[in-house]
Amino acid sequence: MIGIGLYSSLSLHAVKNNINDISTNLIFQITQINSIMNNVSIVSSEFINIVIDTDNKQRKNELQRISAYRQKENKLFEILIKKVSDEKGMALVKAAAELRNTYVQVSDKFIGLVTGGQIQDALQLMFGELRQAQSAYLQSLDDLVTVMEERSLAASVHTDKQASAAEIYILILLGGFLILSVLISFFTICSITGSEDKDLALGRSHGPG
């Protein structure tokens, strides 16, 4: 029974680790990436607003919002870099970081043109180089999400197999323990009965006459 309990404990610990990897790590990483992509999309909308808005005060407010979203996206990306630990994921994060740097540089150039009043140049940049940089960055993040989802599915399948295997092994161990208990009981009873029969026979052999 101690062996069964120990095996059950080890099996449950392994399953728990896999579940934690899925729920705590992978799902968190996917949520982070989606938040980053959402921030990039919001900033993209704000870029359009600062180009078409002729009110300087309104444009200033929009630039402040853009700055806040970009800072938030920067923090989210820093957290993501620290959380991803598998080799394939790290390679994709590195690639995304390089594309992000390009996107940030082009974005800074775009903002500089807008604040400098060079709206036509800003529009040309936005529909050309900026759009390309943003699309490449978002695609790299989307690729990362795909890898995380595949890993999450694989971990889930592995966990199910571990749980099923553990259940079968535990049933086998319990069955073996039950058979062993029955055999021990049987031989114990036979031993006791045999001893009693011998005592009875011996008593009869030494009886009267």
Q: Report the C-alpha gap between 30 and 2 in whole angstroms.
A: 41
| Tokens 């699309």 -> residue | 135
- 160 — pLDDT class (breaks 50, 70, 90): low
- Residue 162, pLDDT score: 59
- Mean predicted lDDT score pLDDT of the chain: 78
Q: Report the C-alpha gap between 57 and 139 in whole angstroms.
A: 34
Q: CB under 8 Å to 142, separation ≥6 — which residues?
A: 37
pLDDT (tens digit per residue) in 79-108: 888 888 788 888 999 999 999 999 999 999
Residues 66/47, Cβ–Cβ less than 8 Å: yes
State in Å, rounded, how far the first CA of the chain is from the last one.
54
Residue ranges of the alpha helices (H) in the chain? 2-20, 27-52, 56-83, 87-115, 119-125, 131-205
- Residue 139, pLDDT score: 94
Q: Domain spans of the chain?
A: 2-155
CB neighbourhood size of 161 (10 A): 10
pLDDT at 175 over 80: no
pLDDT (tens digit per residue) in 7-60: 444 454 454 455 555 556 778 888 889 999 999 999 999 999 998 888 888 888
* Architecture of the structural domain at 2-155: Up-down Bundle (1.20)
pLDDT at 177 over 50: yes
- Residue 181, pLDDT score: 72
- Residue 174, pLDDT score: 64
Q: Which of 126, 115, 152 is nearest to 33 (CA)?
A: 152
- Residue 5, pLDDT score: 47
Q: Report the C-alpha gap between 209 and 206 in whole angstroms.
A: 9
